[in-house]
Amino acid sequence: MTLLALPAGAAPHVAMRLVAETARPAAGGTVTLAFDAAPAPGWHAYWQNPGDAGVGTRLEWHLPPGATAGELRYPVPQRLLIAGLMNYVFERPFAMLVDLKVPAGLTAGARLPIAVKADYLVCTNDLCVPETQTLETVLTIGDGAPDPASAARFDAWRRALPQPLGATATWQASGGTFRLGVPFPADAPVNQPYFYPAATGAVDFAAPQKVARDGDRLVIETKAAATPVNGRIEGVLATGDGRGLAIVAEPGNVAPAAGGEGAWGAALAAFAGAVLGGLLLNIMPCVFPILSLKALSLARAGETERGTRREAVAYAAGVVVVCLALGGTLLALRAGGAAVGWAFQLQDPRVIGALLLLVAGIALNLAGLFELPTPRFAGRSGTTGAFATGALAAFIATPCSGPFMGAALGAALVLPTVAALMIFAGLGFGIALPFLLIGFVPALRRRLPKPGAWLARVRRILSLPMFLTALALGWVLWRQAGSVGLMLALIALALLLVGLWLTGLAQRAGRGRAWWPALIGVPGALVAAALLHPGAATPAAAVAGAQPFSEARLAALRAQGRPVFAYFTADWCLTCKVNEKTSIETEKVARAFRHGKVAVLVGDWTDGNPALGRFIEANNRAGVPLYLWYAPGAPAPRVLPQLLTPDMLAALPGA
How far is 130 from 578, CA to CA, in rounded Å?
60
Handedness of CA 281, 287, 288, 292 (dihedral sign): negative
Instruction: Look at residues 541, 542, 540, 534 and name the one whose alpha carbon lies nearest to residue 486.
Output: 534
pLDDT of residue 343: 59
Count of positions (residues) in the chain? 655
Instruction: Look at residues 139, 135, 143 and name the one whose alpha carbon lies nearest to residue 111.
Output: 139
Query: What does the buried/exposed string (b/e) look like for 144-183 if buried means 16 or more CB atoms within 10 Å of the residue's CB?
Result: bebeeebbebbbbbbbbbbbebebebbbbbeeeebbbbbb
- All residues at 6 or more sequence positions from 556 whose CB lies less than 8 Å from its CB, including other chains: none
How far is 183 from 533, CA to CA, in rounded Å?
44
Phi, psi torsion values for 195, nearest 5 degrees: -100, 120
- All residues at 6 or more sequence positions from 120 whose CB lies less than 8 Å from its CB, including other chains: 14, 45, 46, 55, 56, 57, 58, 130, 131
pLDDT of residue 42: 92
Low-confidence ranges of the chain (pLDDT < 70): 1-10, 257-267, 285-286, 293-303, 333-348, 370-382, 398-416, 448-456, 480, 511-519, 521-522, 528-529, 532-544, 574, 618, 620, 655
pLDDT of residue 222: 92
How far is 51 from 507, CA to CA, in rounded Å?
77
pLDDT of residue 403: 55
pLDDT of residue 628: 93
Enter the pTM of the model: 0.48
Phi, psi torsion values for 539, nearest 5 degrees: -55, 135
How far is 377 from 391, CA to CA, in rounded Å?
12
pLDDT of residue 542: 57
pLDDT of residue 212: 85
Instruction: Look at residues 194, 202, 197, 256 and name the one whose alpha carbon lies nearest to residue 231.
Output: 202
Helix or strand (DSSP H, E) at 320: helix 305-335
Within 10 Å of residue 581's Cβ, how many Cβ atoms?
Answer: 11
Handedness of CA 251, 257, 259, 260 (dihedral sign): negative
Instruction: Look at residues 527, 492, 513, 494 and name the one whose alpha carbon lies nearest to residue 373.
Output: 513
223-268 confidence digits (pLDDT tens): 988 877 878 899 999 988 788 999 999 888 787 764 444 445 656 7
pLDDT of residue 238: 93
DSSP state of 11: P
